[in-house]
Amino acid sequence: MKVLIVLLFLLISNINFSQNWISPGQTWFFVGPMIHFNFGGGEHHLSLALEGSYWRYAFTNPNAPFIGADAGIEYEFGGKFRVYGEGQVGGILGLSAGPVLEFEDGNSRLGIQSSLWFCFIAGVDMRWRYTDGNYWSPGVFGKIPIHN
């Protein structure tokens, strides 16, 4: 029951944030940690990331999505390190995609990743990545908004 109350509070606070704090033409920056559980290619590892994102409410229609971009660094326990950037569209529910550069054992691989998330400031996401194979990474995140 406590978990349900916390999840409901996060949902309501995210909806309130997206509907009352941002108006057409505004830009916002967010920064915060991400935790993912990566699986695929016979591997299962936890990863920690720090991500920053830029959002712009570019449309005059109040029901239109926000547009933005993010960049992050991620360390996966098991020896992988990643640097990535993504274009984004959404709000409470969103989608992003972009290139990822992965380093492991002195080698680097260029790939692509895409994420689908729910909530704005604190929430959950599902990431798909292709580097040397397909990987899925469910995760959680928290972001601190910094108004521009």
Note whether 95 and 88 are within 8 A (CB). Answer: yes
* Nearest-angstrom CA–CA distance, 103 and 86: 18
* Nearest-angstrom CA–CA distance, 128 and 116: 9
- In this structure, what are the phi and psi dihedrals at residue 138, rounded to the nearest 5 degrees? -70, 145
DSSP state of 5: H
* Nearest-angstrom CA–CA distance, 72 and 66: 19
CATH code of the domain made up of 2-147: 2.40.160
Q: What is the pTM of this model?
A: 0.80
Place of tokens 């509070």: 9
Q: Where are the domains of the chain?
A: 2-147
6, pLDDT greater than 60:
no
What's the pLDDT tens digit per position in 29-80? 999 999 999 988 788 999 999 999 998 877 777 677 889 999 999 999 989 9
